[in-house]
Amino acid sequence: MATAEVAEPARRLWTREEYYRMADLGLFHGQRTELIDGEVVILSPQKHRHYAAKDMAGERLKIAFGEGYWVREQGPLQCGDFSEPQPDVSVVPGTRDDYEDHPTHAILVVEVSEATLHYDRTQKASLYARSGFPEYWIVNLIDRVLEVHRSPVDDDSQPFGARYADVQRFAPGQTVAPLEKPDAAIAVADLLG
């Protein structure tokens, strides 16, 4: 008697191009989505506290970085053919006129986290580290701290094979400066709203 081959079902991963076609067809109408490792992820609605913190982070980073940098709020980043996250805030070199498509590199990415803290610490952190973004901040509204992730390294135990080697927490009353702008001290309390 012949033995049958056993095959696990395969997942269908979507490319950025297919993701855009689905959006053009109206499949995501009324929903905030992002593409993460070939899967379409539905984002939760933004409560006022989340939106205010995102807005404040954008304002503070525009002041800190100044000319020569584009501070983007909820702008997509290309992280390969299968991922296009939309961080709450990202900082990329240059100006918007320097880009013909979404940026592929960011100097700093920021997620404001309330309902998605675990996801932001695991999935998003690993994806951003794999993409080589040197710095990732989580504005943690639950614990009222800023989590600063730096120094991406390979780590096969993580969801996307990478993590940040240096993770520090900053509380209200402290200041933090982006790696790219070490003289630009930002009050953590201002980021927490």
Using the predicted structure, report yes or no on whether residue 88 has a pLDDT greater than 90. yes
Alpha-carbon distance of 33 to 112, in angstroms, equals 16
Using the predicted structure, report yes or no on whether residue 89 has a pLDDT greater than 90. yes
Alpha-carbon distance of 167 to 165, in angstroms, equals 7
User: Does residue 98 lie in a domain region?
Assistant: yes
Residue 32 has what pLDDT? 85
8 Å CB contact between 55 and 61: no
* Segment 106-121 mean pLDDT: 95
Query: Cα torsion at 169, 160, 111, 29 (round to 10°)?
Result: -160
Structure tokens at 129: 């580290």
Q: Give me the domain span that covers residue 92.
A: 45-192
| Single-letter amino acid code for the residue at 141 | L
Report the CATH number that the domain containing residue 116 is assigned in CATH: 3.90.1570.10
User: Does residue 1 lie in a domain region?
Assistant: no
User: Does residue 36 lie in a domain region?
Assistant: no
Alpha-carbon distance of 82 to 87, in angstroms, equals 16
User: Does residue 181 lie in a domain region?
Assistant: yes
Residue 97 has what pLDDT? 94
Using the predicted structure, report yes or no on whether residue 30 has a pLDDT greater than 90. no
Threshold 0.75, pTM exceeds = yes
User: Does residue 37 lie in a domain region?
Assistant: no
| Single-letter amino acid code for the residue at 18 | E
User: Does residue 150 lie in a domain region?
Assistant: yes
pLDDT tens digit sequence for 117-130: 999 999 999 999 99
User: Does residue 29 lie in a domain region?
Assistant: no
User: Does residue 103 lie in a domain region?
Assistant: yes
* Segment 12-31 mean pLDDT: 89
Label residue 2 by pLDDT band (50, 70, 90).
Answer: low
Number of domains in the chain: 1
